């Protein structure tokens, strides 16, 4: 007994713990409509550290939780009504716990609507006829453009104008007060409206006017035509697609036609019909001249609407102009006919005879000349059986003449349009025009390939453009170009293809070259400077530059020095005058090696920088000379081969005392020697 109590206590504890960990077994649902998927989602909760491991569903109320599994499932209830649905929760700590819940499945409405057949241009009324088993329909949405979206209109009854005839697919989506929806589509038919118009013929007053319907319909056929002819707006005056009527007076009539299709669509139109009177056709004209235009004046009246004219000028031609001009090719009487037809088809005719007089055939010949010559005109007019009364000439340059064979001198070249008019005694005339050429004189132009002013010895080529045939120069040459080298005025004369002659001239100046004079040729001792000069030009260039003292070829020099030339040399001077013309002249310097030495007799080596050394002029030009210096007792105090004028009066690097000393200069190229005395003064 004690063991059973203990076991009961354990079972009681286990049961207590299981109910303590599952707080609630419950679930929620989405909208539940018959035939639609509904989502069932567990909202069960546990506590005490337990975890839900299984969700088992009983969907057919048979007590078995084996119809679906998981925390959220989808299920479709195929019928409306109330269903008992159970959910079993299993945790990792407790025994399974279950709960049942009643689910209401709402009925789905049956969408339907009615759309009567209408005529094009008439509004279609669309009325809902949807039903639902329980509840009510709360929303209607329409798809009028068949795009799959129900967003074109709302309401249980709507009106829509489909604009054009045809068959339209219209959709309706209805929603119940529980949110369940259904849709449907219907074909809405819009019957075509017949087009209505008519043609009118024979609208001239007194004729039977024909009225013919030309109405059509897109599908089906027109079954009736009713006419309104007297302006009372009742279509009861005549029937049929073609009728005739005779109006008693001209004027405007408002005619109506109403047509009905076999689908019952009715359309009508009104058209203003004008009953027109006949016009009165007439014209005026003068007698004509053969081959010359004559004008016709139209005096037609009593016109309603527009009018077209048809003229016939005998057998020679026709016209449709209002007031034409016409030229008859033959002389004599000509019958002219005018027919006028209005835009309503009403016509009238007039016939009149016109007398056509013969016309002369004017013409003239002429000469074509070069500018400055006389142009002669020769009259060759043929009277053609008429009598010429007088002539008129327009010479094309604002000058006129009345003679038979005039002449004229034009003051400018051109192609002149000359007009001559011959007048007959019948008032007829003929005009002729010819272009008369007055040729321009050629305008030759002389060009040169270089300056027209140049120095003697140069030349220039002269060319004339354009070249003529022939081309004659004042030099006697007949070429396009000539080469000249002397001062002169050169003329050229050319003849063009018309035989006209033109001239041009050009001046050429040849400058004389400068006459230069220069220093005479001279002979100098080696080492001597030579002054030179030149005259007769503006600028001078001396060549070569050798030995020229401070020579700068960019500066003009008329006086210059050849400094200590070492050998014989010839200088050439290029002299340039103010025209740029140049002449050359030369001068020769003969250098003689005559050992013309020039010792000084005194020097002062006192350190003041002046006359510090014993200077022997020209000795630097002779390397074969030996200088020796002695004191008054005959002691040699200085000796030098190829002396450089550098002795400062010292002996053994000590200054010599003031006094007189004696020198001897011996040169290999000279037989005798130089000797003399020099004084040192400090």
Give tens-digit pLDDT for 327-350. Answer: 999 888 999 999 999 988 899 999
Average pLDDT over residues 209-227: 91
Instruction: State which CATH number among 3.40.50.620, 3.10.129.10, 2.60.40.10, 3.40.50.10420 fits the domain covering 283-357.
Output: 2.60.40.10
What is the distance between the alpha carbons of residues 295 and 286, in angstroms, rounded to a whole number?
8
In the chain, the percentage of residues whose pLDDT exceeds 70 is 96
**Position 151 pLDDT exceeds 90:** yes
Strand 453-455 vs strand 501-511: parallel, antiparallel, or unpaired? parallel
Cross-sheet strand order for the sheet of 27-29: 27-29, 37-42, 72-76
**Position 410 pLDDT exceeds 70:** yes
Cross-sheet strand order for the sheet of 522-525: 522-525, 582-592, 569-576, 539-543
Q: Are 151 and 224 in contact (CB under 8 A)?
A: no
Q: Is the four-CA dihedral 145, 151, 152, 154 of positive or negative sign?
A: positive
Cα 116 to chain centroid, rounded: 63
Which DSSP string do the residues of 219-248 spell out, in sequence order?
SS-EEEEEEE-SSSS-S-SEESSEEEE--S
What is the pLDDT, as a whole number, of residue 554?
Answer: 52
Q: How many CA atoms lie within 13 A of 416 on its CB side?
A: 29
Superfamily the domain 364-423 falls into: Immunoglobulins (2.60.40.10)
What is the distance between the alpha carbons of residues 442 and 437, in angstroms, rounded to a whole number?
15
Average pLDDT over residues 521-548: 89
Coil, strand or helix: which one is 549? coil
Q: Which of 533, 535, 534, 539 is nearest to 577 (CA)?
A: 539
Cα 368 to chain centroid, rounded: 48
Average pLDDT over residues 577-596: 93
| pLDDT tens for each residue of 537-584 | 998 898 998 888 765 555 555 788 878 888 899 999 999 999 999 999
**Position 13 pLDDT exceeds 50:** no
Q: Which residues 6+ apart lie within 8 Å of 569 measured at CB?
A: 544, 546, 547, 562, 588, 589, 591
Average pLDDT across the chain, whole number: 90
Worst-scoring range by mean pLDDT, 18-22, 44-48, 114-118?
A: 18-22
What is the pLDDT, as a whole number, of residue 249?
Answer: 86
| pLDDT tens for each residue of 266-316 | 999 999 988 888 899 999 998 899 988 999 999 999 888 899 999 999 989
What is the distance between the alpha carbons of residues 637 and 630, in angstroms, rounded to a whole number?
5
| pLDDT tens for each residue of 34-68 | 989 999 999 999 988 889 999 999 999 999 999 99
Fold exhibited by the domain 198-275: Immunoglobulin-like (2.60.40)
Average pLDDT over residues 167-184: 93
DSSP character for 513? P
Ramachandran region, residue 221 (left: φ > 0; alpha: ψ -120 to 50; beta: rest):
beta
Fold exhibited by the domain 445-511: Immunoglobulin-like (2.60.40)
**CA–CA distance from 682 to each of 119, 134, 390, 631 (Å)?**
152, 159, 132, 16
Q: Which residues of 196-217 are buried (b: 16+ CB within 10 A; e: fewer)?
A: bebebebbbbebebebbbebeb
Give the model's confidence band at 405: pLDDT under 50 very low, under 70 low, under 90 confident, else very high.
Answer: very high
Cα 370 to chain centroid, rounded: 48
What is the pLDDT, as a whole number, of residue 247?
Answer: 85
What is the pLDDT, as a whole number, of residue 553?
Answer: 55
What is the pLDDT, as a whole number, of residue 12?
Answer: 31
Q: Which of 34, 54, 31 is nearest to 42 (CA)?
A: 54
DSSP character for 563? -
What is the distance between the alpha carbons of residues 275 and 304, in angstroms, rounded to a whole number?
9
Phi and psi torsions of 632, nearest 5°: -75, -10
What CATH class does 2-105 carry? mainly beta
| pLDDT tens for each residue of 239-273 | 999 999 888 888 888 999 999 999 989 999 999 98
Q: Are 89 and 42 in contact (CB under 8 A)?
A: yes
Instruction: State which CATH number among 1.10.260.40, 3.40.50.150, 2.60.40.10, 3.50.50.60 fits the domain covering 517-592.
Output: 2.60.40.10
Is the domain 113-191 a CATH 3.30.465.10 member?
no
Query: Is there a common fold for 517-592 and 598-680?
Result: yes
Q: Which residues 6+ apart lie within 8 Å of 134 measured at CB?
A: 80, 106, 107
Looking at the whole model, is its pTM more than 0.95?
no
**Position 442 pLDDT exceeds 50:** yes
Give the bridge partners for 374, in sequence order: 409
Q: Which residues 6+ apart lie within 8 Å of 14 measured at CB?
A: none
Where in the chain are the domains?
2-105, 113-191, 198-275, 283-357, 364-423, 445-511, 517-592, 598-680
Give the model's confidence band at 5: pLDDT under 50 very low, under 70 low, under 90 confident, else very high.
Answer: very low
Fold exhibited by the domain 598-680: Immunoglobulin-like (2.60.40)
Average pLDDT over residues 102-122: 92
């Amino acid at each position: 007994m004690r063991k059973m109590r203990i076991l009961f206590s354990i079972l009681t504890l286990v049961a207590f713990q299981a109910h303590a960990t599952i707080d609630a077994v419950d679930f929620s649902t989405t909208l539940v409509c018959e035939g639609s998927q509904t989502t069932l989602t567990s909202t069960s909760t546990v506590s005490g550290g337990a975890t839900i491991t299984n969700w088992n569903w009983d969907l057919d109320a048979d007590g078995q939780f084996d119809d679906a599994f998981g925390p959220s499932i989808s299920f479709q209830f195929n019928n409306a009504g109330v269903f008992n649905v159970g959910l079993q929760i299993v945790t990792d700590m407790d025994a399974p716990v279950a709960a049942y819940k009643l689910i209401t499945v709402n009925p789905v409405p049956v969408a339907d609507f009615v759309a009567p057949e209408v005529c094009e241009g008439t509004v279609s009324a669309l009325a809902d006829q949807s039903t639902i088993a329980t509840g009510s329909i709360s929303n209607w949405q329409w798809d009028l453009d068949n795009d799959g979206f129900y967003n074109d209109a709302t309401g249980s009854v709507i009106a829509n104008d489909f604009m054009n005839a045809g068959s339209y697919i219209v959709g309706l989506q209805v929603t119940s007060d529980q949110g369940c929806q259904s849709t449907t589509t219907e074909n809405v038919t819009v019957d075509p409206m017949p087009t209505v118009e008519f043609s009118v013929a024979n609208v001239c007053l007194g004729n039977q006017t024909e009225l013919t319907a030309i109405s059509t319909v897109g599908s089906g056929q027109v079954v009736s035509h009713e006419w309104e002819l007297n302006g009372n707006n009742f279509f009861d005056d005549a029937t049929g697609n073609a009728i005739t009527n005779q109006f008693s007076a001209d004027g405007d009539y408002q005619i109506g036609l109403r047509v009905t299709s076999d689908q019952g669509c009715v359309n009508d139109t009104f058209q203003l019909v004008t009953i027109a009177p006949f016009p009165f056709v007439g014209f005026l004209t003068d007698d004509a001249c053969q081959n010359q235009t004559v004008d016709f004046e139209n005096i037609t009246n009593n016109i309603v609407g527009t009018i077209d004219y048809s003229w016939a000028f005998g057998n020679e031609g026709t016209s449709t102009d209002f007031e034409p001009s016409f030229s008859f090719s033959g002389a004599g009487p000509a019958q002219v006919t005018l027919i006028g037809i209005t835009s309503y088809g009403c016509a009238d005719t007039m016939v009149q005879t016109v007398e056509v007089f013969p016309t002369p055939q004017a013409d003239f010949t002429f000469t074509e000349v070069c500018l400055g010559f006389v142009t002669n005109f020769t009259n060759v007019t043929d009277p053609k059986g008429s009598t010429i009364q007088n002539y008129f000439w327009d010479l094309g340059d604002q000058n006129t003449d009345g003679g038979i064979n005039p002449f004229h001198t034009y003051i400018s070249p051109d192609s002149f349009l000359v007009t001559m008019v011959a007048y007959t005694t019948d008032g007829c005339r003929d005009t002729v025009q010819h272009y008369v050429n007055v040729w321009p004189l050629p305008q030759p132009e002389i060009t040169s390939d270089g300056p027209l002013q140049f120095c003697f010895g140069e030349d220039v080529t002269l060319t004339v453009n354009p070249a003529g045939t022939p081309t004659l120069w004042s030099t006697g040459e007949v070429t396009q170009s000539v080469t000249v080298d002397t001062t002169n005025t050169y003329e050229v004369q050319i003849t063009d293809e018309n035989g006209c002659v033109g001239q041009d001239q050009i001046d050429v100046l040849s400058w004389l070259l400068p006459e230069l004079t220069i220093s005479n040729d001279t002979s100098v001792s080696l080492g001597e400077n030579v002054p030179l000069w030149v005259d007769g030009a503006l600028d001078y260039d001396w060549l070569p530059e050798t030995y020229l003292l401070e020579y700068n070829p960019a500066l003009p020099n008329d006086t210059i020095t050849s400094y200590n030339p070492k050998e014989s040399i010839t200088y050439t001077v290029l002299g340039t005058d103010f025209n740029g013309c140049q002449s050359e002249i030369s001068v020769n310097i003969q250098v003689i090696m005559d050992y013309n030495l020039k010792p000084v007799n005194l020097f002062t080596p006192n350190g003041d920088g002046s006359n510090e050394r014993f200077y022997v002029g020209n000795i630097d030009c002779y390397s074969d000379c030996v200088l020796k210096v002695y004191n008054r007792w005959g002691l040699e105090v200085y000796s030098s081969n190829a002396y450089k004028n550098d002795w400062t009066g010292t002996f053994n690097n000590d200054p010599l005392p003031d006094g007189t000393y004696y020198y001897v200069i011996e040169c290999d190229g000279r037989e005798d020697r130089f000797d003399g005395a020099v004084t040192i003064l400090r």
